[in-house]
Structure 1
Amino acid sequence: MNPLFPVTASALSLALVALPVRAAQAPVAPQVSASNDAVSGAAMQQDPVGGIGYADIADLVLSAPIIADATVRSTSKIKAAEAPNLAPGLVRLYVEVDVTALVRGADGLPPRIGYLLDVMPDSAGRVPKFKKARVLIFARPVAGAVNQVQLVAPDAQLDWTPASDARARRIAKDALASDAPPVITGVGNAFHVAGALPGEGETQIFLTTADQRPVSLSILRRPGEQPHWAVALSEIVDESAAPPAPETLLWYRMACALPPTLPERSTTSLEAADATIAREDYAYVLAALGPCGRTRKI
Structure 2
Amino acid sequence: MHHFTKFKLALAAGLAMAAAPAAAQQAPAAGAPTYADLVDLADPADLVIRAQIREQALLRPERAPGVRPGYGRLYVEARTLALISGSEPIGESIRYLVDVPLDEDGDPPKLKKQEVVLFARSAGRPGEIQLIAPTAQLRWSEALAGRLRPILTELTAADAPPSVLGVRDILSMPGNLAGESETQMFLNTDGDGPVSITVIRRPNMAPVWGVSWTEIVDQAARPPSRDTLAWYRIACFLPDDLPAEANIAQDPASRAQAEEDFRFVQQSLGPCRRNRS
Counterpart for residue 225 of structure 1: 205
Structure 1 counterpart of 2:167: 187
1:75 is matched with which residue? 56
1:138 counterpart (115, 119, 123): 119
Structure 2 CA distance for partners of 1:81 and 1:212, relative to 1, 3 Å? closer
Q: Confirm whether residue 91 of structure 1 aligns to residue 88 of structure 2.
A: no
Are 2:140 and 1:171 aligned?
no
How far residue 240 of structure 1 moved from its aligned partner, in angstroms, is 4.9
Aligned pair partner of 1:158 in 122, 131, 138: 138
Q: Counterpart in 1 of 2:29?
A: 44
Give the Cα–Cα distance (whole angstroms) in 2 for the partners of residues 189 and 85 of structure 1: 39
* 3-state SS, counterpart of residue 150 of structure 2: helix
Query: More helix per residue: 1 or 2?
Result: 2
Bigger shift: residues 57-66 or 98-107: 98-107
Q: Deviations over 1:242-278 (max 9, x none)?
A: 1111111111110111012221112243311011111
> For residues 237-256 of structure 1, what are the structure 2 equivalents within 5 Å?
237-238=217-218, 240-256=220-236
Conserved 8 A contact 2:195-2:214: yes
Query: Which letter maps to 1:159?
Result: R
Q: C-alpha distance in 2, partners of 1:273/1:139?
A: 49
Is 2:103 aligned against 1:117? no
The answer to whether residue 87 in structure 2 is matched with residue 106 in structure 1 is yes
What amino acid sits opposite 2:10 in the alignment? S
Contact kept? 1:191, 1:270, Cα under 8 Å: no
- Cα displacement (A) at 1:42: 4.0
C-alpha contact (below 8 Å) 2:47/2:88 kept by paired residues = no
Contact 1:65 1:105 (8 Å CA) reproduced: yes
Q: 1:13 aligns with which of 10, 35, 59?
A: 10
- 8 Å CA contact retained: 2:33, 2:276: no
Q: Percent of pairs identical after alignment? A: 41
Q: What is the alpha-carbon distance in structure 2 between the residues aligned to residue 91 and residue 294 of structure 1?
A: 23
Secondary structure of the 2:127 match is strand
Displacement, 1:102?
0.9
| Residue deviations 1:175-204 (CA, integer Å, cap 9, x gap) | 121111111111122122222221111111
Q: Cα distance, 1:141 vs. partner? A: 0.6
Mapped contact 2:54–2:113 kept (Cα < 8 A)? yes
Where 2:160 maps in the other structure, the secondary structure is: coil
Find 2:110's aligned residue among 126, 129, 133: 129
- Note the aligned Cα RMSD (angstroms): 2.1
Runs of 4+ in 1 over 6 A off after TM superposition: none
Equivalent in 63, 67, 89 of residue 44 of structure 2 = 63
Matches of 1:238 and 1:150, distance apart in 2? 42
The correspondence for 1:264, drawn from 216, 241, 244, is 244
Q: For 1:113 and 1:195, how far apart are their aligned partners in 2?
A: 62
Q: Report how many residues are paired.
A: 259
Which residue does 2:23 correspond to in 1? none
CA distance 1:270–1:152, change in 2 (3 Å): same
Q: Find the aligned partners of 1:134 and 1:156 in 2 and give their Cα distance.
A: 14
Deviation at 1:15, TM superposition (A): 4.7
Q: Bigger shift: 129-138 or 119-128?
A: 119-128
8 Å Cα contact 1:75-1:94 kept in structure 2: yes
Partner residue in 2 for 1:26: none
Q: Deviations over 1:5-40 (max 9, x none)?
A: xxxxx9851659xxxxxxxxxxxxxxxxxxxxxxxx
Letter in 1 for 2:141: T
